[in-house]
Copies of this chain bind each other. A is one copy, B any other.
Amino acid sequence: METQSNLRMTRQRQVILEELRRTCSHPGADELYARVRKRLPRISLGTIYRNLEVLSANGDIQKIETGGSLKRFDGNPEPHYHIRCLRCHKVVDAPVAALPEVERLLDGKTDFAITGHRIEFLGICPKCQAED
């Protein structure tokens, strides 16, 4: 467990992290709850939410604040972008390297202290295209 800080590593936290890293579906809390429950049947949804919050604050995972109403999480803590299907709301990783330079576009143009950026591509996934 490559946690950079002094988080207490409970079984629940460990399994949540493992399951999140095992999937590539960028699950919301509910989907992850279902997965984790197969291994820890007595875990509660509240624990899922609390840990997703703590783990993302700690940099072990990412909260993908994408357009949808649902909060999604990504087991990959490295900066990268996403593509979201406008029809089925699926989220996949964008096959592009991160562009740290884009933040320089704001140099001298804003009084905000810029600390990051996010890019989200929108489109229709292959499956939804086929359904037309």
Contacts and interface: CB of A to CB of B under 8 A. Distances in A.
A128 to B, nearest CB: 9
B112 A106 contact: no
A109 B121 CA distance: 13
A115 B122 contact: yes
A48 to B, nearest CB: 17
Q: Binding site of A, secondary structure by majority: helix, strand, loop or mixed?
A: mixed
Contact of A121 (B71, B85, B99, B117): B117
Nearest to A102: B119
Contacts of A68: 65
Interface residues of A, number: 37
Interface of A: 65-69, 71, 83, 85-86, 92, 94-96, 99, 102-103, 105-106, 109-126, 129
Given A92-B110, A113-B123, 6 more contacts: A83-B112, A83-B114, A85-B112, A112-B124, A114-B123, A117-B120
